[in-house]
Structure 1
């Protein structure tokens, strides 16, 4: 068995192993080449710090990662770990981390971050044995948006500039990696950012990816909540997407107000929950 970065691994080989590895996952899924390429680009995954396990020259396992420097911390995010069924039970995830951690330390990484489905007890135990601890629970919602008019005093406009100092002031919780400012700055070309205004004052906003019908961020000014602002933002998406189902992933479950709004007001279903896990290097 050989371990090396994925810097020289062809996307087609990674795609094949990715899909095979997740074919019997807790929530099985299958990516197209275009979706995998988009995932790598959007999550800023770096093949130079991603690692593969190779048997007789063929990829049999991988960890794909990204790194951001923020607030005196350098975090490496695991955007996906997979091992094909025939190669499981050999401790490959631990061995891949053993290989890549010295590389990450050379890049001054201070911590590792990942998400794991709440019911995937085998993976949770494996990551705990690798030194990861659960830091928060994240709720995933999907479904069709209930049509509600909302506050007609609120107007919706597309955002071209992103005053993150103002937008951050609307937050109660820090977004997970996929909705982080690091990933969204610069904003991917196919994303739509909508601002909610009362007069000339921005009172809320949303970042939406029409291709995958996913909402990456939504927040409302604390002084304007329960006044139909969020409803107007979702109604704007409903008008744009022709009534297709949408996804809102990784809502911190400590934000009970947000979870209640998404389920009871917007009509989305909390179909899955994840744990965010972290390890200090």
Structure 2
């Protein structure tokens, strides 16, 4: 079994490996060239530190890796581990994981993160074997929602760029990778304050428009309530985008987030459940 970096492979080889690697997977994630390249750039994945396994000249497995500073710690993200169907159960995943962990150690990664479909017990067991532990339960929700706002709450809305979020003292930086501001620079963000200028919460989201210029749906990446906020403020938050009935979806919302419970009580349903997993790679991260 030979290992090459994605940067050493052709785009055709890499894309073929990705699509074969997720054939028959729990969620359909086949991509074309444009989608794949957009994902590499948008989610900060590294071609030089992502790997492809070859059996002779045949690409049979892939791991995509991204690296960021999160809460002052060098953090990695496994953005997908896929094995071609004919090679599953033949030790390819072990080879890929061992090389990936070696890359993390060389790059002095402190915290390694990933997500796995909750039902994918085989993958979860593999990651646990290599030192990952489950830290959060994550939800993809979707459904129709209508912001029913009663009365005029004294809420001030500030619209900002996603890149401005980390400069807010109350911003929670440690979120699932795909929900971060870095992965959603094409999105929008809002911060909400009460009449005393105390922060109630914030949202990071993306509006998807239809060909007629109307809102097709809204994707929520973050909806956080702060100390002075509560679920009664959520309709006001969403009404700041639209007060019409709208298709709403969430990406990797923590199951413990009160906003997730509220949305499920108001029309959204669970479409996919994932677990977030972390591994502490360097000793310094265990000490902090």
Pair 1:223-2:228 in alignment: yes
* Residues 1:16 and 1:244: Cα distance change in structure 2 (over 3 Å): farther
Pair 1:208-2:202 in alignment: no
Per the alignment, residue 238 of structure 2 pairs with 234
Asked if structure 1 preserves the Cα contact closer than 8 Å seen for 2:23 and 2:85, the reply is no
The Cα shift of 1:120 comes to 0.9
Q: TM-score, normalised by structure 1?
A: 0.83
* Residues 1:231 and 1:86: Cα distance change in structure 2 (over 3 Å): same
Per the alignment, residue 195 of structure 1 pairs with 191
Mapped partners of 2:88, 2:9: distance in 1: 21
Q: TM-score, normalised by structure 2?
A: 0.81
* 1:238-257 equivalent positions in 2, closer than 5 A: 238=242, 245-255=247-257, 257=258
Mapped partners of 2:99, 2:56: distance in 1: 18
Mapped partners of 2:249, 2:11: distance in 1: 26
* 1:40-119 equivalent positions in 2, closer than 5 A: 40-71=40-71, 73-119=73-119
Asked if structure 2 preserves the Cα contact closer than 8 Å seen for 1:66 and 1:79, the reply is yes
The Cα shift of 1:269 comes to 1.1
The Cα shift of 1:6 comes to 1.0
Asked if structure 2 preserves the Cα contact closer than 8 Å seen for 1:170 and 1:220, the reply is no
* Residues 1:213 and 1:6: Cα distance change in structure 2 (over 3 Å): farther
| Secondary structure at the counterpart of residue 20 of structure 1 | helix
How many residues get paired?
270
Mapped partners of 1:262, 1:36: distance in 2: 31
Moved over 4 A (4+): 197-200
CA RMSD of aligned residues (A): 2.8
Q: Where does structure 2 lack aligned partners over 5 or more consecutive residues?
A: 209-216, 282-288
